[in-house]
Amino acid sequence: MFTLTPLEIEALHLSLLVSGWAVAASLPLGILCAWVLARLTFPGKTLLDGIIHLPLVLPPVVVGYILLVMLGRRGPVGSLLFDWFGVTLAFTWKGAAIASAVISFPLMVRAIRLSLEGVDRGLEQAARTLGCGPVRTFFTVTLPLVTPGLLTGLILGFARSLSEFGATITFVSNIPGETRTLPIALYALTQVPGGDEAAIRLCVISVMVAFAALLASEILARRVQARMKG
């Protein structure tokens, strides 16, 4: 029987916590960005599109370093956060969640945007003639119709967060119990002699978690599809 060691449980728990918060916290902003990109035309749209997609093409270490400079205790944003709210992000699991969120953000926005662009605007017009204002129309018609895209975006973001390494280790380092997620724990084990067996066990756990996430998204997406087909 496969029983987890305390160290593995700690890493798995941290990974799920960090990734869960990363996608949950960035989802509203992701929907907003996707909507802006899919529906509005304004000067500077290409620039915004580029900025949102930047983390996808930058080396994660660069993203992590920028976060450290900006959000570190002495960084321009980090110092304000500390002075005003007493919040420290660098070298904490919250910082890890932010690093994961930034890295996975473009994937999430892309999926939601594609889905939004596929929504029949005629249905939104119909909702308007039936007495729904633009905001209510968005929540009662548009959002339900992009559910498959939302699910895809969430799972993609979650999976990318689980595998986040470069930005995380640069921004929040490798602190047991605080920022040592699965990939970081795995990396640490490969750096010590005789860590092979433990490393392989972490590999298996990572594969299983990722696979479970994909499976869950597939099942959910099918259910949504089935509902729409009556």
Chain positions contacting another protein, by CB under 8 A: 120, 122-123, 125-133, 137, 140-141, 144-145, 147, 227-230
Q: Which is nearer to another protein, 120 or 196 (CB)?
A: 120
Q: Which is nearer to another protein, 44 or 230 (CB)?
A: 230
Minimum CB separation from another protein for residue 114, in Å?
Answer: 18
Minimum CB separation from another protein for residue 221, in Å?
Answer: 14
Q: Which is nearer to another protein, 145 or 205 (CB)?
A: 145
Minimum CB separation from another protein for residue 43, in Å?
Answer: 23
Minimum CB separation from another protein for residue 22, in Å?
Answer: 28
Q: Which is nearer to another protein, 129 or 191 (CB)?
A: 129
Phi-psi region of 4 (alpha: psi -120 to 50; beta: other; left: phi over 0): beta
Minimum CB separation from another protein for residue 150, in Å?
Answer: 13
Q: Which is nearer to another protein, 74 or 121 (CB)?
A: 121
